[in-house]
Structure formats: C-alpha cells, structure tokens
Chain A
Amino acid sequence: MSLKKLIKGLRQESRPEKKCKKALWRQLDHQFDHMYPGAKRLVPRPAVIIAVVVLIAVGVGTSTYAYESPEVVEGHPLNFLKQNIENFEGKIKFSPEKKAEWHLKMQDRRLAEAEHFVNKNDFRKNLFEKGIGEMGQGLDEAKRIKLKDKRQEMLEHISAMEQKHIEMLRQIKPQLSEYSQQVIERIIAEHTKRIQEKVRGFETDEQEQFMPLKMRRFRIMHVGTSGINSSSDVIVTADALPDEFGNVQIFMLQP
C-alpha cells in the first residue's frame, strides 16, 4: 500500500464539486454588485468616497427595511429587493436540512405578513397560500436527509412550527369575515391532504412523530338505535383548531 496513493485517493474524495463552486461564485458575483456598487470606478477623492458611503448606507438601509418589514409584499415597490435577498438565502443552502429550515423560515415570514395585514383588516389570500405551501416543500427536503436522527429532529421541528402556525390561525380567525374564514379553511384542508400524502413517504415511527396529523385525524362512529352502524375517518380543518388545552370540537350536521 503506497502512502502517496492513499493521500491521492483522499484528496480525490474530498474534492469539491465544480457545480457547487460555480453556483456559489454566481451568487457571490451577484451579491458583490449589490454590496459594492461602483467598486471598479472608485477614485480616492473624498467627495466620491462620501457619495459611495452614502449610497451604500442608503442601499443597505433600504434592503434591510425591505427584508424586515412585513409591509413589503407583492405589489410593493421594494418587493423585488426582498425577493432577491430571500432567493439568495435559499440558493446558498445545499444540504436538505438547511433547505428545509429555509422553507420553514419562509413559511414563518409569509404567515407573519399575512397576520400583519389581517390586523389592518386586509385579508391577503396569496400570503396564506404561499406560507402554508412552504411547509410541504420543507417536508420534501426533510425526506432527503440521509441520517435518521437528523431526519427525526427535522420532523419534530416542522411539527412544532405547524403547531405554532395553527395557534396563530386560531388567534386571527375571529377577526376575519365569514368568507375569509371559509377561504382559510379551504386552503388548510387542501394543504392537510397534501401533507398527509407526503408524510406517508416517511417511515412509520416517523409518521407518528408528526403530531399535527395525529391531532387532526379522527374516526367518527355513527351511532344508530341498534348500536354503532358505520364509521368514517374525518380530517378536521380550521373549524376544529385545537384550543389552548388541545381540545377539538367537531360539529356533525347529520349522523
């Protein structure tokens, strides 16, 4: 066994992929232009330096405002800045864990924006749709995690995030009109169906870890005069959001 050959093998194995190197450079290249506008033409004259510093400060300030403010959504003139920053964040995540975390962060951000507008009596359906949709993508990424421990950790995290968002929806629901409440119910019902399908792809013990589904799936027994005569599985939607004690109320129109 030659030492030289061993070292060469190890060097080969630890060689970064060209695709990754190129992709990261593209992102950094883009970011460079944002961070250092006019860097190539920089002349060491005080007036120019001051102007560039002011430009950078204004640019950074505007980007920070765009990124942080829940007010900046589709239709806002600064929305393109927010989207650029978020997309950049997403593109430099390569591992499924980090990607899943990024989708959860985006879900959090979209729902926070939606809540912000609800507080201003403005119901934005697309923000709810986008926010809830991010979770499905988070689950897709979680499925790609190779180590079981890490995968379970991520599922617990996703589950905790969903609990948080259910709680948020429960709190804002009374502020909405009847029509908006129905829209939210529909979005959640569709989302629940999709999530159920996705969760089926995980191992059985992992599926059980996914608490929100356990909370929302019920078996209803239809009781007639001669005893139980039929049963069916129901998925409860926004109408049955759990209260602070975890209790869920289900109203049946027809047994």
Chain B
Amino acid sequence: MNKRDFKRFYSKNFDKIYRFVFFRVGGDRDLAEDLVSEIFVKALEKFHTYDPKISKVSWIYTIAKNHLANHFRSKYFRDVEPLEVDVWWQDQTWELIDSQADQKAFYKMLKNISTDEQRLVTMKYIEGYNYQEMSEILGKEKVTLRVATHRAIAKLKKLAKKYELKEINQRAEAGKPARKKV
C-alpha cells in the first residue's frame, strides 16, 4: 500500500461519493462536504483492508452508505438501515438547492418512476458510475442493469414530453409565448 494508490482511489471516487451524499442531504453543500470528509477519513483509517481486486467501488460506497445511515440515525433519533439510504434522497426537501425550475421538474418526474429505476438513473447519469461499477454495487448482471436503465430513461422521456405539453398549455392560458428551445 502506498500513498499513490490512495490518491488514485481518492480522485476516482471523490466526485461520485460527493454526489451520492449531496442528493441525500437535500443539497446542503456544507453538510455534504463535512460528511464526505468524514467518509474519506474513515476510508483512510481502513485503507489497509482495501483490496481493489475484490472490490473497486463498492467498498467506499458501503462506507458512505453506513456513514449516512449513522448520520440520519443521530439526526432523526430512529433506526435507519443503510438500505434505506439508497433511496433516501427522494424524501429530502430541496430548500437549499439553488436549482432552476426545470431541474426541480426533473426531480418531480423522477418521483413518478419506481425507486429501483430512480436509483439506476441517478447512479448512471448523475453520480457517474458505469455499468460494471453498478453491477458490483448492486450485485446484478451488467446486461440486466443496462436494459432496466434504458427502460427507466424511456419512461422519463415520456414524462418530460407530458410536462412540456402541460407547460405550453399553461403559458398559452396565461397569454405568454412558448419557450424557445435552446
């Protein structure tokens, strides 16, 4: 084990773990940064047990999930299972996210697909895992995950169209022209 290995490990996983935490703490940047720091300090303490041949990303992912479960446990004073953390983000308030209306609409659309599908879409397209890594984390075949993710995206596309139509109608009723596509 040497520092270069740890640096490579850190660079590869930091963004993914940050995004994983960010969406589960309601977009609170400061809190996300604190929790990610604590997660990597834990990872450093246990780094001698890390074997990239056995696990590439699921090791740090499990640490992050357990750490978040502990955080929620202390925050809400109830038992929170690490598995719950996987889909936790859908219940978070997004008060602190300075997002545009469209992005909030995306969040609403996501709530219309199943939690498993939400997990796949966010893992693949927001947190940035590839199918191989997802397969390692979720314990499913790569092909199965690819098909399921494509189906989820197809559903989201349909929802996006519906949302667009609804918005056009609302703007027309309000006497405003439709928004230009960029």
Decide yes or no whether A228 CB sits under 8 A from chain B: no
- Count how many chain B residues have C-beta atoms less than 8 Å from C-beta atoms of the other chain: 51
A196 on the interface (CB 8 Å rule)? Answer: no
Supposing A6-B102, A94-B30 touch, asked if A42 and B44 sit within 8 A by C-beta, the answer is no
Contact with A along B25-67 (1 / 0, CB 8 A): 0011111111011101100110110000000000000000000
Using A3-B156, A36-B1, A40-B3 as known contacts, say yes or no to A9 and B37 having CB atoms under 8 A apart. no
A21-B14, A92-B41, A94-B37 as given contacts; A3 in contact with B100, CB under 8 Å: no
In the complex, A24 has a CB within 8 A of chain B: yes
Question: How far apart sit A92 and B14, CA to CA, in the bound complex (Å)?
Answer: 15
Interface size on A, residues (CB 8 A): 38
Question: Which chain A residues in 1-56 approach chain B with CB under 8 Å?
Answer: 1-3, 5-7, 9-11, 13-17, 20-21, 24-25, 27-29, 31-33, 35-36, 39-40, 42
Given A7-B106, A21-B14: A13 in contact with B99 (beta carbons within 8 A): yes
Instruction: Point out the residue from A9, A24, A40 that lies within 8 Å of B103, measured CB to CB.
Output: A9
User: A15 contacts which chain B residues (CB < 8 A)?
Assistant: 15, 19
* A35 & B45 in contact (Cβ 8 Å cutoff): yes
Contact status B102-A29, CB under 8 Å: no
Query: Which chain A residues border B100 with CB–CB below 8 Å?
Result: 9
Inter-subunit contact B103/A32 (CB<8 Å): no
Q: Is the CB of B106 within 8 A of A31?
A: no
Q: Are B34 and A98 in contact (CB under 8 A)?
A: yes
Report the minimum CB–CB distance from A149 to chain B (whole Å).
11
Return the contact of A95 from the options B31, B98, B160 (Cβ within 8 A): B31
> How many angstroms from the CA of A14 to the CA of B126 in the assembled complex?
8
Report B-chain residues with C-beta under 8 Å of the C-beta of A16.
14-15, 18-19, 22, 32-33, 36
Question: Distance (Å) between the CB of A21 and the closest chain B CB?
Answer: 6
A binding-site residues for B, Cβ under 8 Å = 1-3, 5-7, 9-11, 13-17, 20-21, 24-25, 27-29, 31-33, 35-36, 39-40, 42, 92-98, 146-147
Residue positions of B touching A, CB distance < 8 A: 1-3, 6-7, 10, 14-15, 18-19, 22-23, 27-34, 36-38, 40-41, 44-45, 47-48, 95-100, 102-103, 105-106, 125-126, 128, 153, 156-157, 160, 163-164, 167, 181-182
Known: A2-B160, A97-B30. 5 other contacts (CB 8 A): A6-B106, A14-B22, A29-B3, A95-B30, A96-B30
